[in-house]
Structure 1
Amino acid sequence: MEDEEESTQERPHRAPRTLTAEEISKIASDEPVSAFKQNKLEAEARKNWDLFYKRNETNFFKDRHWTKADLQQLCPDIDFQQRHVLFEAGCGVGNFLFPFLEEFPSWFAYACDFSARAIEFVRQRADFDEQRCSAFVCDLTSEGPSVPMESVDLCTLIFVLSSIHPEKMGGVLAALLGVLKPGASVIVRDYGLYDHAMLRFAKGRKLQEAFYARQDGTRAYFFSVDKLIETFAAAGFTALSCEYLERTTSNRKEGTSVPRTFIQGRFQKPFSSPNPS
């Protein structure tokens, strides 16, 4: 999970971090769990996230107030003070959504999650405003979102794609492609390859290469830059930027300091093809 305490400044780079010999050996020796267990986790994915929000309610993730600086740096061509439409796919309990709407009051947002409990928490927040946000339950791996086609100026996937089975990521991105305006973009922030969270998984948690199951049944994929670009390209997107964000996270209570590796990118829907002459 994205369990942050204090962090050093993020350092962007294009290459994954160098592993120690012990870390290389650990990854190489870890075998995937049985197909039966993998299928069970897939079938119970929605239930496991509902249970996660039942246990943690709105207390697990902090509101993400890095929104303004990061988005304006990633999207210098967008005037965030003008009225636009956001679609946050996989909004959780609104830790990105509400800081975004606070920073950019002229925007309207669609927000979905496949956990009904998460959407309930979004709608219960005191700052939820139906005039500015439509929040709904949707499993993007199997259904299209309740968003008008080609109506969205910007879509966000914030620690969402990693929780989806790799074989279903393409279908999710195809659904997003349909609601984006030509030339509009998806912003991704997620777990990067060889993040500390990946390396600390015990044996018996590996599902596939770079794909792991947590003890609570939720799952996490750890992206390389090449893999993320390849996944979006297969769905019809063009990569405008994609890089690792490396930082050190400290927990003062426990006296620990660990290397974190995230990934961030911007992927554009192609503009409409010109009409033939």
Structure 2
Amino acid sequence: MSFCDEVKKRFIRLSRGQRKVAQFVIDNPNLVTTHTASEVGKLIGISESTVIRFCYAMDLTGYVELQEKIKSDIAGEVRGEVKSNQVLFTVKHEHLVSEVMNRDVANILDTIQHINDVQFEKASKWMHKAEDIYILGFRQSAPAASFLTSTLKNLRKHVKQIQHDVDHIVQQISNMDDKSLLIVVALDSILEDALTIAKLASNKKVKVFAITNSALSPIRDYAEILFTVGSQKQSSNETITSYSALMHALIEGMIAQNKRQYLSFQEANSKIESNFLFQETVRSLQ
């Protein structure tokens, strides 16, 4: 196990200040190896003593040993990347489909191991009971958020995607209350704007759950439930498969709360769409 993996394993047992150090170590290993404990503390916005206490919490003798551990991690990653590239070059083109799809299957299986059954059941019930569902996802996460929005709109009323526009954000937040649900999609490094929205929603007693690519994502401070898919080292293309599988499962969990209700909504929706298309066809022929 790498040192960074060990940090993730112990993350929940660290103090709030030490968690900030842990997050910084995971996200910026190169800076840790080239800066002093005092400089790292200033970059994070905490005291040097908190950085040192983090080292002790990780059973290290001090900051120097932390740097040595990180350097060892980085060296191991470089060796792993070289080996991985060598393997990729040897894969024959005719085996590319099975290679990619098997990797997706492995990612989904890995995601399953990190899903908490109690949290999954709770999130499914929230999706069913919420009067309004708001979907938040910016930058590379926006397409995934859009797909989730359109899927849920086909199953229930009052589903809205928050756009990255100040006026729209203000309007949506003002409409939220304790009967609302905010789903945060953060499959890449989360923007400060998204954190602010989640914080404001949490302050309004809105139920919040998030799907991220890192168990150490700062969104965890504002989300009661956190699901992790993929990892920060994976591209968004690799992460999206696990995300889609998880959301499919959550939606099935939501439908299971009252299958007849969702089937009726879909049927009514289909009739409206069919009638709309018929009217459009008639107009085009006139």
TM-score by length of 2: 0.30
Pick the structure with more strand per residue: 1
TM-score by length of 1: 0.31
Larger Rg: 2
